[in-house]
Amino acid sequence: MKKQKKRFVLSEATLDEVNRQLTVNMFVIGLLVMLLGLNTVHFMKEYNLFYGLLIATVIFLLFLIIKSRKILKMKQQELTK
């Protein structure tokens, strides 16, 4: 029987696993963009500090997710060669 891996390790990943992670990554980016839009609308309506902090947090998370996507894309290109 094949053992199931406990977590994703990029250095040991196959092309199929990298493609799956890219799909999950794109889904998370879509959710964060939607959350950013909703928080921006609430912030414009209420000018609340809480929504301002949420916007800053979501922008930071988007930055991290986009960086990880670039790393995954480089790994995908490496595996396809």
3 lies in some domain: no
Task: Name the domain count of the chain.
Answer: 1
17 lies in some domain: no
6 lies in some domain: no
**Amino acid 25: pLDDT:** 95
**Amino acid 5: pLDDT:** 64
pLDDT in tens, the chain (81 residues): 566 667 777 778 888 888 999 999 999 999 999 999 999 998 899 888 888 899 999 999 999 999 999 999 999 999 888
> Which segments within 1-81 are labelled E, that is strand?
none
Residue whose pair of structure tokens reads 């992670």 in the numeric block: 21
* Spatial distance between the Cα atoms of 55 and 40, rounded to a whole number of angstroms: 7
13 lies in some domain: no
**What are the Cα distances from residue 33, in Å, to 14, 18, 26?**
29, 22, 11
Identify the domain containing residue 67 by its residue range. Answer: 33-74
DSSP 36-55: HHHHHHHHHHH--HHHHHHH
**Amino acid 1: pLDDT:** 56
60 lies in some domain: yes
**Amino acid 3: pLDDT:** 66
pTM: 0.79
